[in-house]
Structure 1
Amino acid sequence: MPQPAQRKEHPLSMRLPDTDIAIIDRAARLRGRSRTDFVRDAAVRAAEEVLMETTPIRMSAEGFDAFMAAVSGPAVPVPEMVELFRRAAPWEADHSATGE
């Protein structure tokens, strides 16, 4: 007798107010996603953030010393970042010269 295939999915049921559903549905439509996909992705991202915040980082004593030296040393400007911050923001740029 053939064995039934095992389901790998686990249903998750939530009771939400209409206002929450409306917000979720609106955001999901803006992303071109289904409500299920949108909520699943948001929940997994939130869970990963929590896990990353609470996961200890292990390194050797030498690695820790190198890390501390890197973050404790003087700041070094990154030319690309300096140039980026010198540019006007798109909403601040003067478009009158280009006819926009």
Structure 2
Amino acid sequence: MVSLGALEPGELVLLTVAIVGLVPVILRYTDEAKWFTLGYCCLVVGAVATNVEALVLGDVFNFVEHAFGLLGSGVAFAYAAYDRRERLSAAEEAGLGGSETLGGSDAVEG
């Protein structure tokens, strides 16, 4: 029988923070932030897998943690940065230049 005592407190805290942090990420989802959302979801998968691996199928969930959780989030965040830069470059070339955000509001100087 598997004992919950095998779980490490630090990893449980990580899982709790990851799941709680998922709420605002999902609530504030936009098409522009889809790669960030995917990257964060990969981190949550990694946090779940790191806790489950202490209970059952350690090697399988260790692979899931590293392949999907860590590698997946790294690729998603890297592509999110690339996609964001491409959107800003396209907006600048289209004459919308100078703005740091595509859909953001401009601050009124006074």
**TM-score higher than 0.5:** no
| Higher Cα radius of gyration | 1
- Which structure dedicates a bigger proportion of its chain to helix? 2
Higher relative contact order (CA 8 A, sep 6+): 2
